[in-house]
Amino acid sequence: MDLQDQLKNLFPDHQPEKEEIIKDNKDQIWMQEDPIICKYEKRKGKPITILEGYTGADEDFKKLAKELKTRLSVGGSFKNDAIIIQGDYRDQIMSILKDKGFKVKRVGG
């Protein structure tokens, strides 16, 4: 006997209410017309990938940064309106962003 059956035995006159399904737009990220610039640099001898040029809200860009870091299993940060990813992951990042619907422009190298 599960919990629902026990509750029906205790409260036979109770009619359960239907739950409303609320669609959250938490995963929605604002898309822009201009391309996001994906460039490669070396800082202190270590390679990094920098994404710049997002004109939406900072919170959306931070969500995008977190998703990229988790999908690539790398470290990185969000500073000065740019996402900095440790390592040279331009090709993977560009394919992920294109799958999401962004336009991406590769700069340098």
C-alpha–C-alpha distance, residues 46 and 13, integer Å: 69
Query: What's the pLDDT score for residue 12?
Result: 84
Residue range 54-95, pLDDT digits in tens: 888 888 888 989 999 999 999 999 988 899 999 999 999 999
How do residues 5-60 score in pLDDT, each as one tens digit? 888 888 888 776 776 555 545 556 767 778 889 999 999 999 999 999 888 888 88
CB 32 within 8 A of CB 64: no
Q: Are 52 and 65 in contact (CB under 8 A)?
A: no
Q: Where are the beta strands (DSSP E) in the chain?
A: 36-43, 46-52, 76-79, 82-86, 104-107
Residue 11 pLDDT = 85
pLDDT of 19: 63
Pairing of strands 46-52, 82-86: antiparallel
pLDDT value for 33: 77
**What pLDDT was estimated at residue 20?**
59
pLDDT at 27: 59
